[in-house]
Structure formats: C-alpha cells, structure tokens
C-alpha cells in the first residue's frame, strides 16, 4: 500500500503530468507541443478551473490526454477533517466523470500534502493518490538551467514528472500569488526534446500502467 510514485516498466517511456489547470495561456499553449512530439500526458485538474474554463478541458480531452483530479481547488487537504475531504473529493470525482464521460482514476493532493487519514479517505473515494519524482520546477521562479536540471534529475523509464499548465493563486485556494515567469510551451518542448535524446517518450499514467506495475511509496507530508 502507498501512493503511486513511479511505474516499473521496461519500455522507454516516462509519465508526464500537468497540475493546476486548465488555464488560458498555459493549457492551450502546451497541447500543440505535446502533439508535435507525439506525447501524451495526464492532466490533474482543479474543478474551480474546469468550471471557469470548460472549453480548455474539452481541448485536453479532444487531444487524447488523460484527465485526473487535483481537487475542488488548491487548498491543502492535509489539515481538513477526513469527512470534509471525502465529501469534497467524492463530489468532484462525480462531476469530473460527468464531464469527461470516463472513469477518473487518479488524484494528486495539492502541494503533495496528505496524511494517513486523508490518503485512506481518497482511496475510499475510489481514487489512487499519485505523487512524483522529477519536477519541472515551474510553479515558482527559476532559471531555465535550474528547471531542466530538476526535470532531468533521475530521468529513467517509468519516472513521473511533475509539471504545471497553470498556476494556483489565492483565488484558487493557493498559498501565494507569486506567479512564476515561465514560458510553459517552450519548457515543455525543451523537456520532451531532452528526454527524447535519452530515447524516452512521454505518456499518460494510464498508458504507462498498461502491462506494467505501479511503484508505490510512503509519502505523508502535512
């Protein structure tokens, strides 16, 4: 038992994930880059953003990407009562499935913060908590060199890479309004190009798990 932190696979692929969208200027800029590289990804969406930008979510779906749940908003669930977490998450899962027409399998806790109680609650909602390994470091200001160094740290088949197609500020329940200065499309292109030089392509978590096993780890942060 534990959160999914990687995929055990012999295929030359890694799992590309995007958080905090959909967001104008980010989501629709990334999609053509993914198409150009023949890449698929899992988008962990915020339901307040889905409500605000439904057409962007439809673009993600139409492009063939996997949709997963990041939360009702970006408030950390680790300090919520489990009953509140269950109510919020179950309702969000149901709403997202009604929109996508597909089962929603994965959940990523905002900021990666979860307790044993919230982890078990998410599981009882029929979702698997998913964390990550490398990070694109694109939720805060950083240099291109720093971002690429972190995105490639531990690069290997089956790693789960964290990136963002949006930024969750105060209006989304986030902690800060310090929006990073980042060209998300350019960063996506650089990451996919560098992984390609290592003979690895990007895919969604669901695709990566076809014929492969999830690697689970104990990840509890309050």
pLDDT tens per residue across span 92-122 = 999 999 999 999 999 999 999 999 999 999 9
Instruction: State mean pLDDT over 203-214.
Output: 98
Q: CA–CA separation, 99 vs 57, rounded Å?
A: 9
- By DSSP bridging, strand 160-164 and strand 13-21 are parallel
Instruction: For residue 5, give the H/E element and its range.
Output: strand 3-8
Q: What percent of the chain has pLDDT over 70?
A: 100
The model's pTM = 0.98
Instruction: State mean pLDDT over 48-75.
Output: 98
Q: Residue 175's pLDDT band (boundaries 50, 70, 90)?
A: very high
Nearest of 98, 111, 99, 71 to residue 87 by alpha carbon: 71
Q: What is the pLDDT of residue 187?
A: 98
Please say whether the beta carbons of 191 and 43 come within 8 A.
no
- By DSSP bridging, strand 13-21 and strand 3-8 are unpaired
Q: Residue 65's pLDDT band (boundaries 50, 70, 90)?
A: very high
Nearest of 159, 112, 158 to residue 133 by alpha carbon: 159
């Amino acid at each position: 038992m534990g959160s999914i932190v990687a995929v055990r696979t012999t295929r030359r692929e890694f799992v590309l994930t995007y958080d905090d969208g959909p967001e104008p200027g980010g989501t629709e800029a990334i999609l053509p880059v993914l198409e150009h590289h023949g890449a698929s990804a899992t988008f962990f969406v915020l339901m307040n953003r889905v409500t605000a930008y439904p057409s962007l979510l439809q673009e993600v779906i139409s492009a063939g990407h996997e949709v997963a749940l990041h939360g009702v908003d970006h408030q950390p669930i680790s300090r919520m009562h489990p009953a509140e977490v269950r109510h919020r998450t179950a309702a969000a899962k149901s709403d997202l499935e009604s929109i996508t027409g597909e089962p929603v399998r994965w959940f990523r806790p905002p900021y990666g913060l979860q307790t044993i109680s919230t982890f078990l609650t998410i599981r009882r909602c029929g979702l698997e908590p998913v964390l990550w390994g490398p990070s694109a470091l694109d939720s805060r200001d950083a240099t291109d060199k720093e971002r690429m160094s972190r995105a490639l740290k531990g690069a290997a088949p089956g790693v789960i890479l964290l990136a963002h197609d949006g930024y969750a500020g105060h209006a989304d329940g986030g902690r800060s309004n310090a929006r990073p200065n980042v060209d998300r499309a350019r960063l996506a292109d650089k990451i996919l190009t560098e992984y390609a030089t290592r003979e690895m392509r990007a895919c969604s978590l669901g695709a990566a798990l076809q014929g492969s096993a999830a690697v689970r780890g104990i990840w509890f942060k309050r």
